[in-house]
C-alpha cells in the first residue's frame, strides 16, 4: 500500500470499522487505529438495531446469521402503576420492529471484512491524513487532546447488564418496566428502568438484561450471588418469563447524557488536516430507547454520504464540507437525546400527580394508532 493516507480513523469499534469499510469501498485509503487489546472478559452486550442499521451492515455483508440475530416482533412497556404500551410489528405492516444483535459476533464479522480490504491499513498509531475521524467512544482520549469540550450530565443511575436463561421462550418479545423500588440503605424509593431483550434466535429462552438503577442499588445487585440475583430479577419482572438462571458475568457502568461542543475542526498546529467526531465520541444518551448504536451508525451513513457527494474540487479537510455533516447529525442526535432524557426524567419524578399523569398518558398514547405508528416507524429507521 502507498504510504499516503486519505483518512485516518481513530477507534476500531463497530462504528469505526463500518466507516472504514464504506470509505475503502469508494477507493479511499484508510488507516484504522485500534487500541491495544484489553484483558479477555466476557462481553454481555447486545444491541438493538433498526432497519437503517441493518441495511448498512447487510450492504457490508456483515449482518450476522441466527442465532446471533434475534428478530423483535413485539415490545411491551409497563409504567409504575397501570400504564402500559404495546408495540407490534404487524401493526407496522412488517415482520420485525428491530433486531437484537450479539455484539461479539458482529465485531468478529467486521474485523474479518476489514482484513480482506487492501485499502484499509490497521495500525496501533495514527498517521497524518487530510481527515481524521475520531470514533473512540465516550472516553475518547483524542477528543480530549483536541481540546473539544464534552458536556456531560450524569444520571443518578448505573446500568447493570447480564444474560440469563429463562424457563419460558421469549417469543420475540422485548419487555421494559419503568418502576419505583425500595433500595436498602436509602430512605426514598428509587426510579428503575428494567429491560429484558430477546436473544439466541427465534424460539430461544435467552435474554439480555439492562437494569438502570441507583448506584447503590447497582453495587448491591452486583454483589449478590447468581441465585440471589436471578431471584431479585424474577421478583422485579413478575416472573414474566418464568424462573431465570444467570448465564454470564454482570457488567456495571454509569449512565450519562453527553454531547461534544463541536464535531469538526482543524488538528492543532495544522491548516491542512481536519478532524470529525462520530459515534459515542460525539454523543452519549440513556439506553432506555436502545438507540445508541443506531445513532452512531447514522453518523457513519451521513458522513460517507457527505464525502461521496462533495464537489470534486473540495478536499476532504474542507470545513464547509464537514460542517454539512455536523449540521445534519447534530439535529437528529439532539432530538433523540432530548427524547431519552425527557422519558428518564418523567419516570423518575416521584410526585403522585406526575405518576398518575404519565400512566394515563401511556394508556392514551396506546389508543392513538397514527401517533404510535409515526413514533414506532421513526425508531425503526423507516422515516421515508
CB under 8 Å to 56, separation ≥6 — which residues? 18, 22, 297, 300, 301
Query: Other CB atoms closer than 10 Å to residue 289's CB: what's the count?
Result: 17
- What does the DSSP 8-state code read for residue 158? E
| Predicted pLDDT of residue 356 | 55
Per-residue buried b or exposed e for 21-45, using 16+ beta carbons within 10 Å of the residue's own CB: bbbbeeebbbbbbbeeeeeeeeebb
Cα→Cα distances 215→198, 254, 383, Å: 25, 8, 36
Query: Other CB atoms closer than 10 Å to residue 104's CB: what's the count?
Result: 14
| Predicted pLDDT of residue 43 | 75
Cell numbers 460542517 correspond to: 323
How many structural domains compose the chain? 1
Residue 163 lies in a domain: no
Residue 122 lies in a domain: yes
Cα→Cα distances 265→6, 10, 131, Å: 17, 15, 10
Residue 207 lies in a domain: no
Q: Which cell is 288 given?
A: 432506555
139 alpha carbon, distance to own chain's centre: 15
d(CA 289, CA 332): 14
Helix axes 319-348, 292-308, angle to 10 degrees: 160
| Predicted pLDDT of residue 1 | 39
Residue 185 lies in a domain: no
User: First and final CA of the chain: distance in angstroms?
Assistant: 40
Helix runs in the chain, H state only: 14-25, 51-59, 103-115, 141-145, 215-223, 226-236, 292-308, 319-348, 352-366, 369-379
Residue 352 lies in a domain: yes
| Predicted pLDDT of residue 136 | 93
Residue 247 lies in a domain: no
DSSP labels, 280-318: GGTEE--GGG--HHHHHHHHHHHHHHHHHTS-TTS-TT-
Per-residue pLDDT of the chain (384 residues; tens, 9 = 90+): 345 899 999 999 999 999 999 999 999 999 999 987 665 566 787 889 999 999 999 999 999 998 999 999 998 888 766 667 787 888 778 888 899 999 999 999 999 999 999 999 999 999 999 999 999 988 899 999 999 999 888 878 899 999 999 999 999 999 988 876 666 666 666 778 899 999 999 889 999 999 989 899 999 999 999 999 999 999 999 999 999 999 999 999 998 888 889 999 999 988 899 999 999 999 887 666 567 788 899 999 999 999 999 999 999 999 999 999 999 887 777 666 555 655 555 555 555 555 555 555 555 545 545 545 555 555 555 554
Say which CATH number the domain at 107 has: 3.50.50.60
| Predicted pLDDT of residue 41 | 64
Residue 272 lies in a domain: yes
Q: Which cell is 269 given?
A: 498546529
User: What is the domain extent for residue 355?
Assistant: 7-152+255-379
Q: Which cell is 40 given?
A: 479477555
Helix axes 292-308, 51-59, angle to 10 degrees: 50
* pTM of the predicted structure, to 2 decimals: 0.86
Query: Each residue of 119-176: pLDDT tens digit?
Result: 999 999 999 999 999 999 888 999 999 999 998 888 788 999 999 999 999 999 999 8
| Predicted pLDDT of residue 345 | 55
Residue 223 lies in a domain: no
Cβ atoms 172, 74 nearer than 8 A: yes
Amino acid at each position: 500500500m502507498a504510504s499516503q493516507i486519505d483518512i485516518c480513523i481513530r477507534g476500531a469499534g463497530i462504528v469505526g470499522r463500518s466507516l472504514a469499510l464504506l470509505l475503502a469501498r469508494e477507493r479511499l485509503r484508510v488507516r484504522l487505529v485500534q487500541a491495544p487489546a484489553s484483558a479477555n472478559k466476557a462481553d454481555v452486550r447486545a444491541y438493538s438495531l433498526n432497519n437503517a442499521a441493518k441495511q448498512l451492515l447487510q450492504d457490508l455483508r456483515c449482518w450476522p446469521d441466527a442465532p446471533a440475530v434475534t428478530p423483535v416482533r413485539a415490545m411491551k412497556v409497563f409504567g409504575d402503576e397501570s400504564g402500559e404500551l404495546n408495540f407490534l410489528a404487524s401493526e407496522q405492516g412488517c415482520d420485525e420492529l428491530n433486531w437484537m444483535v450479539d455484539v461479539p459476533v458482529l465485531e468478529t464479522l467486521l474485523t474479518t471484512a476489514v482484513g480482506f480490504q487492501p485499502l484499509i491499513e490497521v495500525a496501533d498509531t495514527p498517521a497524518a491524513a487530510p481527515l481524521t475521524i475520531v470514533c473512540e467512544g465516550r472516553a475518547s482520549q483524542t477528543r480530549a487532546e483536541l481540546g473539544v469540550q464534552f458536556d456531560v450530565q450524569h444520571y443518578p443511575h448505573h446500568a447493570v447488564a447480564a444474560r440469563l436463561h429463562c424457563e419460558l421462550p421469549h417469543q420475540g418479545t422485548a419487555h421494559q418496566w419503568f418502576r419505583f423500588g425500595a433500595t436498602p440503605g436509602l430512605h426514598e424509593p428509587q426510579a428503575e428502568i428494567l429491560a429484558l431483550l430477546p436473544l439466541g434466535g427465534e424460539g430461544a429462552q435467552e435474554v439480555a438484561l439492562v437494569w438502570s438503577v441507583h448506584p447503590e442499588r447497582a453495587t448491591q445487585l452486583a454483589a449478590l450471588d447468581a441465585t440471589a440475583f436471578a431471584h431479585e430479577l424474577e421478583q422485579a419482572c413478575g416472573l414474566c418469563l418464568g424462573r431465570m438462571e444467570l448465564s454470564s458475568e454482570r457488567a456495571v457502568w454509569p449512565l450519562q447524557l453527553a454531547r461534544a461542543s463541536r464535531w469538526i475542526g482543524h488538528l492543532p498546529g495544522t491548516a491542512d488536516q481536519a478532524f470529525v467526531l462520530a459515534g459515542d465520541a460525539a454523543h452519549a444518551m440513556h439506553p432506555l430507547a436502545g438507540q445508541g448504536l443506531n445513532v452512531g451508525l447514522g453518523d457513519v451513513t451521513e458522513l460517507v454520504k457527505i464525502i461521496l457527494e462533495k464537489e470534486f474540487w473540495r478536499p476532504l479537510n474542507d470545513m464547509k464540507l464537514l460542517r454539512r455533516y455536523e449540521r445534519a447529525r447534530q439535529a437528529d442526535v439532539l432530538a433523540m437525546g432530548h427524547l431519552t432524557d425527557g422519558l428518564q426524567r418523567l419516570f423518575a419524578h416521584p410526585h403522585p400527580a406526575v405518576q398518575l399523569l404519565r400512566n394515563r398518558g401511556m394508556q392514551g398514547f396506546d389508543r392513538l394508532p397514527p401517533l404510535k405508528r409515526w413514533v414506532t416507524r421513526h425508531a425503526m429507521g423507516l422515516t421515508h
